[in-house]
Amino acid sequence: MISILARERLLGAALGGALAGAVVLEERKRIYRSISDDRSRLAAQAQKSELIFGKEFRSELAHLWNKSVDRTLGPVIEYLSSRGW
């Protein structure tokens, strides 16, 4: 038969394992919940920015940005191309 001391150690190990498992599960729940909250918050912010800056506005802004970069850096690119870069 198992001695009383061995039973106490086995019971302590089982209870400790169960407690550690419960703590790990609770932490995982918190992590997953915080990730879910962050995702929903980011989705809400994306919808707000879509309302403020519509798709048409953003594409026009991108077009103007590219046009200004081409005008600004065009001579530099031509110069480097003529030098064989």
Summarize pLDDT for 11-57 with one digit per residue, the tens: 999 999 999 999 999 999 999 888 888 888 888 777 766 666 677 88
Confidence band of 85 (pLDDT split at 50, 70, 90): confident
Using alpha carbons, list the distances in angstroms from residue 10 to 3, 24, 67. Answer: 11, 21, 74
User: Domain locations in the chain?
Assistant: 1-52, 54-85
> Which residue, among 16, 47, 74, has the nearest Cα to 39 in the 3D structure?
47
Q: Which pLDDT value is given to residue 28?
A: 93
